[in-house]
Structures are given as structure tokens and as C-alpha cells.
Amino acid sequence: MYLALLICFVASIVLTPFVRKLAFKIGATDRPNHRKVHQTIMPRLGGLAIYISFMIGSFMIYPDIDNKYLAPLLAASSIIVLTGVIDDMYGISPKVKLSGQFIAAFIVVFFGGISVETINIPFGGEIEFGYLSMPLAIIWIIGITNAINLIDGLDGLAAGVSAIVVLSISGVAWMMGDIFVFSICLILLGSILGFLPYNFNPAKIFMGDTGSLFLGFMIAVLSLLGFKSMTVISLIVPVIILGVPISDTLFAIIRRLVNKQPVFSPDKSHLHHCLLNLGYSHRQTVLIIYAISAFFALMAMLFAQVNEVGSIFVIVMLVLAIELLAEKVGLIHKNYRPLLNFVRGVRYMDNKKQ
């Protein structure tokens, strides 16, 4: 198992330069424009190296782990990668890209049997989703896939955040004794880490949609598998682990609705854009978001260990922290600061009394 991680790491290191040459040869490149941070033409097929390395690791562990989820997972991830490759080469419409994501999600849900059937609620009781169990799983997979895709805006950002998330899921899987999810996380982690040196600033290659869609899809499926015995607590744990991409996506939707823009219209107000606008360098911005992602992962581990009162306290603190971050960096609007204005108001009243 750990040998597979090492082999995936080495395979990714070896394969990435070849994929870089291939990207230039077939025209899978990213040209700079007003929305892009980079200033030169960059190859963007790097996710293919991650995928091939992952497949090598999967076939290595296959004889030792006979699991009903593996074949549908590999088939579906291949469809996701194909969708990404076509998009990196030619550019496809959001509808076509969404169709590829839906087909992949349907395969793992329908043929792999991955779904969210029930959730046990605190103090007794249970919510049964019935016919909604499969649609909810598909929505989750597509949503997380696109959330990872949206944060892929700086060198090494999506790859590093994905590595932190995968490491977190592997930790929870290990604690729960889920060997399958733990093993898949390890080989995926090795594949990402082998690619990251080429992708970190200054990047020699981008992962492209091939990589961001693949990683988003794998993270979405692994988070469902790792927490398939759903309770309210266990359902929230993967949401916290994925705090950076989920919150960035939610604020993007809110921002576009507030500004009366189409929900799927691109902009330059994501978390990494806001940090750059505050004067942080490219590397500093990426490292700050790594730290935020690691903080979410630690909070998820803490959340899983505390009692119900403690879990409510953790959630409240996280919500406040996310809101403060959004207001500080201007994720919705630079003048949107209700919580900060409230704190200033309280301080003003205290100073006035004194």
C-alpha cells in the first residue's frame, strides 16, 4: 500500500515532463488574458500525469483490495479525465462539461451504489431520503467537482489544497478502519505530490481542467465513501474538510447574485484574487490558502471528536471565521462588512462610555 504511494509519486514526477511536451504538441495550452494571472503561454494538460500515476497505483492495489467501488470509480474517473482533456485541447461549453460530469457521477452512483440514504439526527430520529438518495449523491459529486475546478487559479493552488483534503480524508478513513478509502487516498496523494513541484510557482505546467475535474471528482466520491454511515455529524465533517472550495464557491454565487450577474459568469473576485489585490505575492497567497485549508482539516478532526455541544461551538466559530475572512478580503464586495461594522460599533460604544 505504502509502496504504491511511493510508485505513484515517482511515476507522477517522471510522467509530468512528457505530458508537458505533449500539451505543447497537441495545442493544449493556456493563453494569457485579462482574467489570467500568468503572462506567457502555458501547457495545461498536467492532470493527465496525475491520472496516469493514479491508474498505475490502482492496478497495483487491485489484487489486494477487491472492492465493488473500484471498477465504477476507475471508469467514471476516466470519463472525467476525457472531458477535461477535450476541454484543455479545444475548449467546450459549460453544458457539455457538465454532461461529462453527470455521466461520471451517474456511473459511480448507479453502478457503484454510492448514495446518501439516511441521516441520523442528534437526540434520536432519522431522515430517510428514499428516491432522493441517488440525486443527492450526484449533486454532491458535481458540486464538489466544480468547487475544486473554481479554485484552480494560481500555480499549485488546486493541487496543494487537494493534497491537504485527500490527506484529511485518509486520516478519517484510517481512524474508521476503511482500508479501501485509505488506500485510494494514498495513491491519489502520491500522484498529486509528484506533480506539485512542476505546478508550484513559478509553474512549468498547469493541471488544466483535466486535473481539476479529476481531483474534484475523486475528492467528492472519496468523501462520500469515507462518510457513508451518515449522521448529521459525519455529514458535516467532509463539508468542513472542503471548507476552502465550498466557501469560495458559495461566496462566488452570492457575489454574482448581489451584483446581478449570471451565476456561472467568471470573475476575478475569488479568494486568491482578493488576496492578490491586498498586496500578497503569488506564493504568499497560495501558502495562505494552504494554511486556511489545513485549519479547516484540523477543525474537521476536532469536530469529529467532540460531543454535541462542542460540535455546535465549533460550527459557530467556523461560520464566524469564514464571515470575517470574507469581509476582510472582500469576497462579496469591498464595502460588505456587517460583522466588522458591528464590532467597530460595539468598540465605539465602549470607548464612549469610558
Counting every residue, how long is the chain?
A: 354
C-alpha of 96 from chain center: 21
Handedness of CA 318, 237, 149, 164 (dihedral sign): positive
335 annotated as ligand-binding: no
- Provide CB contacts within 8 A for 316, sequence distance 6+: none
Q: Are 110 and 103 in contact (CB under 8 A)?
A: no
What gap in Å lies between CA 262 and CA 259, rounded to an integer?
A: 9
User: Grid cell 464538489 — which residue?
Assistant: 144
209 annotated as ligand-binding: yes
Give the residue from 276, 251, 262, 272 showing the smallest Cα distance to 333.
251
What gap in Å lies between CA 206 and CA 211, rounded to an integer?
A: 8
β 42-43/126-128 pair status? unpaired
User: Grid cell 476552502 — which residue?
Assistant: 244
Task: Extract the annotated binding site.
Answer: 149, 209
Task: Extract the annotated binding site for Mg(2+).
Answer: 149, 209
